[in-house]
Amino acid sequence: MAIRLTPTELTDQERALQAEVRAFCDEFLPRGSFEPGLGMSSGPSKELSRELGKRGWLGMALPTRYGGSDRSTVDRLVVVEELLRRGAPLEQHWTADRQSGIVINRFGTEEQKQRFLPDIAAGELCFCIGMSEPDSGSDLASVKTRATPTDGGWLLNGTKIWTSNAHFADWMICLCRTADADTPHQGLSQLLVDMHADGISINPIPLLDGTADFSEVVFNDVFVADDLLLGEPGNGWQQVTSELSFERAGPERWITPIIIVENFLREYADHLSEAALDFLGHTIARWWGLRQISLAAARMIDEGKAPALQAAMGKDMGTEFEQEVIAELQQLVDIEPSLTSDSQFSRLLARAVLVAPSWAIRGGTNEILKGIIAKGLR
């Protein structure tokens, strides 16, 4: 079996949307007016999320009857690519917009759709993902968090780890074990968990740069009502694997360092070495290729396909490339990057050096992704 990707380009309509988003960024996020973030780890801004919601740029693929725009996955890619390039603070709506809303729309009840989707499309709700667990590595099927039936719902007990944005999220879609089964992939379900419920403890995990995007989340007899079971009981594995195509295929897996490269150019444009020119040519060419993978995967999703292998390949190649860009930039400049420097390039590079290893972990480690690709090619 081969991994097939059909070459594709943006249509005239998609290019018009791209120009519209760029104009919005120039107006709402002019360079120099804020400290840009790095990719998904850019901080939350309810104001920005609400502005995007007003323009119909959140929940774009959701039905209009639930507050969405009935637009395509490619349209969303166009929007987020421009926002990520600008270093916009996206964490308030990021997970809900990228995958939680789509998963609820695909598997949720009518009541769940009406309850959650309009607020997701408006930028009002922040979601996090309850997948990874301590001592499980990237073996997602080994989850031990368990939900046991109780009067009117479930009691949830267990621990999730490396949960992005849990410390300010409103809701979590939590993968948990609801029944014993013959194989670890069976007996799993997903619950919609109110992150403000009694019995939840959130312990931020500080990174080397002082930020704490990741958290440990502990559930101690957390009550989850019956109407917050997402999809069918026991269908959790099928639901979560379909969700990973949205999580792994986007531009956030390869675009994170682009703002650092742009700032490098602004500060060093007048005296670029031959090595710097080689680096820029090589980097831009690889960026273009990785962008083609994301765009082709988005087209497949719009065609009703599930590009799990293509997404795994794009994520694996993209996050490895991001590490290489940071390492090569360090070799090109004779500075010691600092988080407190007057130079924005130096500040961004310093933060990337400290946190870049996490980029290759979130969404599945590269080793696990290579295993998924190898199995798919058998």
Cα 96 from Cα 66, distance rounded (Å): 14
Question: Cα 334 to chain center, whole Å?
Answer: 33
- For residues 29 and 88, the answer to whether their CB atoms sit within 8 Å is yes
Considering only the C-alpha atoms of the chain, give the largest distance between any 2 of them, rounded to a whole number of Å.
Answer: 70
Q: What is the pLDDT of residue 67?
A: 96
Q: Which two tokens stand for residue 168?
A: 């300010």
For 223, list phi and psi in degrees, rounded to 5.
-80, 130
pLDDT for the residue 1: 61
- pLDDT tens for each residue of the chain, 378 residues long: 667 788 899 999 999 999 999 999 999 999 889 999 999 889 999 999 999 999 999 999 899 999 999 999 999 999 999 999 999 999 999 999 999 999 999 999 999 999 999 999 999 999 999 999 998 866 788 899 999 999 999 999 999 999 999 999 999 999 999 999 889 899 999 999 999 999 999 999 998 888 888 999 999 999 999 999 999 999 999 998 877 767 777 899 899 999 999 999 999 999 899 999 999 999 999 999 999 999 999 999 888 887 878 888 888 889 999 999 999 999 999 999 999 999 999 999 999 999 988 887 777 777 777 877 787 777
Q: Taking the mean position of all CA atoms in its chain, how far away is CA 29? A: 21
Looking at the structure, give the CATH architecture of the domain made up of residues 12-125: Orthogonal Bundle (1.10)
C-alpha closest to that of 52 among 67, 39, 74? 67
Q: Quick one: pLDDT at residue 227? A: 98
Locate 72 and state its tokens.
Answer: 């395509």
So where are the chain's domains? 12-125, 129-234, 249-376
pLDDT for position 127: 98
Choose the CATH number for 129-234 among 1.10.530.10, 3.90.190.20, 2.40.110.10, 3.30.465.10. 2.40.110.10
If we measure between CA atoms, which residue out of 310, 325, 196 comes closest to residue 244? 310
Question: What is the distance between the alpha carbons of residues 48 and 52, in angstroms, rounded to a whole number?
Answer: 6
List phi, psi (to 5°) of 243. -65, -35
If 0-12 CB within 10 Å is exposed, 13-18 middle and 19+ buried, where does residue 28 land?
middle
Long-range residue pairs from 19-23, CB within 8 A, at least 24 positions apart, any chain:
21/57, 21/78, 21/79, 21/82, 21/83, 22/82
Query: CB of 246 within 8 A of CB of 300?
Result: no
- Comparing CA positions, the residue from 81, 59, 61 lying closest to residue 127 is 59
The CATH homologous superfamily to which domain 249-376 belongs is Butyryl-CoA Dehydrogenase, subunit A, domain 3 (1.20.140.10)
How many Cβ atoms from other residues are within 10 Å of residue 45's Cβ?
20
Phi, psi for 160 (deg, rounded to 5): -115, 150
Helix (H) or strand (E) holding 17: helix 12-28
The 3-class SS string of 269-327 reads HHHCCHHHHHHHHHHHHHHHHHHHHHHHHHHHHHCCCCCHHHHHHHHHHHHHHHHHHHH
* Helices and strands of the chain, counted as H and E runs: 12, 8
